Structure 1
């Protein structure tokens, strides 16, 4: 007795839905399937050198930074003529104070970050209902968040229709 191909396909899909433990709400699937190391996670330290003054060394902190640790973003900023210290978050800069006060004119929720974490996890849980049923691994992040993203060209067109000048936007839409 031969089983129809459709029945075999349905059985494979049902069995693949049962694989794994727990419910997977991750939408990004960027795992490496090779046995080797991830060459992008290895970051060699700078060369060791004796400091001019041992008393000026920072106090060691578990999990903290080290003088020989690389700082790729800071190195890039310094190479381009900027200040690497600007990357360290130290509150709102004076140049952005007017923007922050205008944006917070209707009040600011103090617990917005934990609230967004809970809401986003629930959103991903709803959108991942049928992600376990798949024959091929797929990165679904962009598909799931598509309705929450803006189309830059549509926004430029909308601003121009209202009369807002958009000098930095390209002259032709699309």
Structure 2
């Protein structure tokens, strides 16, 4: 009985140390944090440190022989001609994704909306005892109820081979 409190404190301490990097919405950089989600190649030592090649920013080098093709593969695509037209198999996807237009200033727009969200959320909450999950606060309205969604698809006549577990 006496050991319950220390074990509870230990469990709470360990839980507080978890990595929430993928759910952190306050990035300090101007772009995505690609290093947290991108698989990295193993580091290798050059055979001779006295004969290192000159750096070539944005060009091929010992580590990234073809950076553009590696990026395409990392995103699930097939490397090839970057200026090639959209394949016919992806035409419907591109059409659906751009059906409401393509906004060239999407980054600035999202940054403004994010700043507004943070401003409204921080009016009376400067002092917090426990950290809050901002990620879930932002996307709470977009969450789907799995049972309700599966039932809607079944009512529409779609086959749903698996059903969400209860709970």
Q: TM-score, normalised by structure 2?
A: 0.47
Which structure has the greater CA radius of gyration? Answer: 1
Q: TM-score, normalised by structure 1?
A: 0.46
